[in-house]
Amino acid sequence: VAAASVTAAAAPPLPQLVQKDGRHALMVDGAPFVMLGAQAHNSSNYPAALKKVWPAIRDMHANTLEIPVAWEQIEPVEGKFDFSYVDTLVAEARKNKVRLVLLWFATWKNTNPQYSPEWVKFDNQRFPRMLDKDGKVNYCMSPFGEETLKADKKAFVALMTHIKQIDEAHRTVIMMQVQNEVGTYGLVRDYGPKAQAAFAQEVPQAVLERQKSPVKLAAKGTWSEVYGDYAEQYFHTYAIASYIGEIAKAGRAVYNLPMYVNNALRDPLEPMAPWKGNFASGGPTWDVIDIYKVAAPAIDLAAPDIYMPQSAKFTGTLDRFQRPDNALMVPELGNAPTYARYTYQVLGRGALGFAPFGIDYADYSNFPLGSKLTDKAMVEPFGSIFAVFRPMERQWAKWAFEGRTYGVAESDERTEQTIAMKNWTATVSFRQWRFGEKEWNPEIKDEPANTEKPSGGVAIAQIGDNEFIVVGQQVRLRLGGAGSNDGKPTMLARVEEGSFDPSGKWIMERNWNGDQVDYGINLPAKPVVLKIRIGTY
Ligand code: N0T
């Protein structure tokens, strides 16, 4: 008994999400953690395939791997579970010193049941698919399939039970994604008999209270009576969210890891309108996050998978998903080089995590969604940034939770951006030469090397009243007084280039002065970390 309790006491605390003043942190081993993540390809979830995952994770300098666990692989025969892949994965993750976020691919993976076991996906009687208005069978599983829910839940609980058994003392697995990019393409909702009966019921009170809708025709009533043209999407969302919520709840009852859902986006900028086939109905799109909060309280957050490279859409998406009641995490984004600059923006905004998709060396390229490349060169634009964040990852996560961090990425228009901080502003501009202004010399026709495409970004942590940690590339940064420093003349005290050692101690390499600061603080293409002090006189 004594030995057992010693072991139990030594187990690190469970990972969990905490919240303060509208900000969020993912606590791992009892302290804020920022997931510098990478997601493997969809079919890399086999022991032999992992050999091509780990080298990419190392080159990426990631601290976390996101990787699927498929229902079809853990329960190929009903009731007979096989966790050999999970065991190998967890053991190898520990050897590689990375954490895991496991992606439960089951009833819905990109909306379809492709990752369900064969005994599920071909048995429409027991595991019904949705029906369209004409009674035609749709590809997508019905969220009203009671047997489907029961079977998926049973498998997920078995998985959580197993993870608890092998990992409770380690906490290598820090989070679970439940299903993947759910909803339904091409059909707004299920018209099967159970769905029809439910659609004629009144909207649950909790939805009425929480969901902000462009249309509210009545204070209460059936879905159509209250939500008019939005009723079918909201109804389907509620059905899917309830299904996922129940699975998550059952899993957490066994082993209480943080859990989230991910979303294939609806356009964040186009004017709000009822569903017309332009995104997966029923998924956790930004407009229905409230329905997920109500129907799936066991899900901590809804997260955007960002495959929109346009800076306005990227930023619009972050704005939509980062809320006091919804922590920002970007569990997927394209792995093409254009996305690398967003690392600064997302981490600067205090996200729990950031993970480009398709980071392994399987012979498969995600182009045109992502990178053409499949090797080290694909990883490098992200890996070089993670490399400078890694030594200060725990400090960064703490600063972010304290609300001290900011971040921007170069926009497609290349325009200057201003960051408002406490009593200081940072002005960030792009495509600047490092000494002086191009207007000085009419013979200058070209632009600085490697700025043909937007690639700049900077993340800033204000660690003291007049002190900043700056991480970035391809930007010119200027600090100016604001608030109580407004109008005062200012001067840089120190612009130290360096890095944090593993104990959190700042190691200075040199102090930028003279030409290196006279025309702003010009960060080169290769990411650097600066510790800046500034004063007024
Ligand atoms: C993602 C990934 C994987 C604006 C695509 C994105 C992953 C899933 N789906 O490689 O399948 O499992 O979550 C869908 C993007 C649709 C195109 C959006 C264009």
Q: Ligand 1 mean position to 507 CA, how many Å?
A: 41
Q: Are strands 424-429 and 475-481 parallel, antiparallel or unpaired?
A: antiparallel
Same domain membership, residue 377 and residue 276: yes
Point out the least confidently predicted range of 93-107, 353-367, 428-442. Answer: 428-442
Q: Tell me: do 462 and 387 sit in the same domain.
A: no
Mutation probe of ligand 1 site: the residue of 270, 330, 369 with most atoms within 8 A of C-beta: 369
**pLDDT-derived band at 9, boundaries 50, 70, 90:** low
Where does residue 57 rank: exposed (0-12), middle (13-18), buried (19+ CB within 10 A)? buried
Q: What is the CATH number for 493?
A: 2.60.220.20
Token couple for 137:
């069978």
Q: Are 449 and 495 found together in one domain?
A: yes
What confidence tens digit (pLDDT) does each residue in 292-303 have?
999 999 999 999
Single residue among 403, 438, 473 that ends a domain in this structure: 403
Question: SS3 sequence, 369-425?
Answer: CCCCCCCHHHHHHHHHHHHHHHHHHHHHHHHHHCCCEEEEECCCCCCCEEEECCCEE
The reply to whether 4 falls in a domain is no
Instruction: Provide the pLDDT confidence category of residue 1 given band limits of 50, 70 and 90.
Output: very low
Is the CB of 42 within 6 Å of ligand 1?
Answer: yes
Residues 46 and 186 in one domain: yes
- Choosing from 370, 403, 436, the residue where a domain stops is 403
pLDDT digits (tens, 9 = 90+) for 339-353: 999 999 999 999 999
Average pLDDT score over the chain: 97
Residue 430 has pLDDT above 50, yes or no: yes
Please name the residue whose Cα sits nearest to atom 12 of ligand 1. 42
Supply the CATH number for residue 195's domain.
3.20.20.80
Could you tell me the distance, in angstroms and rounded to a whole number, from the CA of residue 449 to the centre of ligand 1? 32
Overall average pLDDT of the 256-277 stretch? 98
The pLDDT assigned to 503 comes to: 86
Is 105's C-beta closer than 6 angstroms to any atom of ligand 1? no
Quote the ligand 1 centre to 119 CA distance (angstroms).
26
Rounded to whole angstroms, the Cα distance separating 496 from 504 reads 16
305 lines ligand 1 (CB under 6 A): yes
Of the pLDDT bands very low, low, confident and very high (cuts 50, 70, 90), residue 288 is: very high
The answer to the question of residue 408 being in a domain is no
The pLDDT value recorded for residue 171 is 98
Cβ of 110 below 6 Å from ligand 1: yes
452-491 pLDDT per residue, tens: 999 999 999 999 999 999 999 999 999 999 999 999 999 9
Residue 110 lies in a domain: yes
Domain shared by 157 and 276, yes or no: yes
pLDDT in tens, 396-417: 999 999 999 999 999 999 999 9
User: Which pLDDT belongs to residue 57?
Assistant: 98
Task: Please tell me the distance between residue 67's alpha carbon and the centre of ligand 1 in angstroms.
Answer: 15
The residue behind tokens 């496991």 is: 102
User: Are both 211 and 163 inside the same structural domain?
Assistant: yes
Domain of residue 136 covers 11-403
**197 with 276, same domain?**
yes
The reply to whether 433 and 326 lie within a common domain is no
Cβ of 369 less than 6 Å from ligand 1 = yes
Q: Check whether residue 399 and residue 421 sit in a common domain.
A: no
Whether 300 and 375 share a structural domain: yes
Asked which of 403, 430, 445 is the last residue of a domain, the reply is: 403
Choose the residue to mutate in 307, 366, 367 for probing ligand 1, maximizing ligand atoms within 8 Å of C-beta.
Answer: 307
Is the confidence at residue 165, as pLDDT, over 80?
Answer: yes
Is pLDDT at 199 greater than 50 in this prediction? yes
Expressed in angstroms and rounded, the spacing between residue 181 Cα and the centre of ligand 1 is 8
Mean pLDDT score, 53-79: 98
Mutate-to-test residue for ligand 1 from 109, 262, 332, 365, highest number of ligand atoms within 8 A of CB: 332
Shortest-distance Cα residue to atom 6 of ligand 1: 264
**Cis status of the peptide bond prior to 76, with omega within 30 of 0:** no
| Three-state SS sequence of 12-63 | CCCCEEEEECCEEEEEECCEEECEEEEECCCCCCCHHHHHHCHHHHHHHCCC
Is any atom of ligand 1 closer than 6 Å to the C-beta of 264? yes
Q: Does 389 share its domain with 426?
A: no
**Count: domains in the chain:** 2
* Residues whose CB is less than 8 angstroms from the CB of residue 130 and which lie 6 or more positions away in sequence, other chains included: 137, 138, 140, 141, 142, 184, 187, 189, 190, 191, 192, 195
Same domain, yes or no: 200 and 176:
yes
pLDDT of residue 437: 86
The answer to whether the complex's ipTM is over 0.85 is yes
Is there a domain that residue 155 lies in? yes
Report residue 8's pLDDT band, with 50, 70 and 90 as the boundaries: low
Is residue 180 within 6 Å of ligand 1 at its C-beta? Answer: yes
Does any domain span residue 162? Answer: yes
- To test the pocket of ligand 1, the residue of 115, 181, 317 to mutate (highest count of ligand atoms within 8 Å of its CB) is 181
Q: Which tens digit of pLDDT belongs to each residue from 99-149?
A: 999 999 999 999 999 999 999 999 999 999 999 999 999 999 999 999 999
How far, in Å, from the CA of 175 to the mean position of ligand 1?
Answer: 20
CB atoms within 10 A of CB 342: 26
| Nearest Cα residue to 517 out of 495, 532, 499 | 495
Please check whether residue 412 lies inside any domain of the structure: no
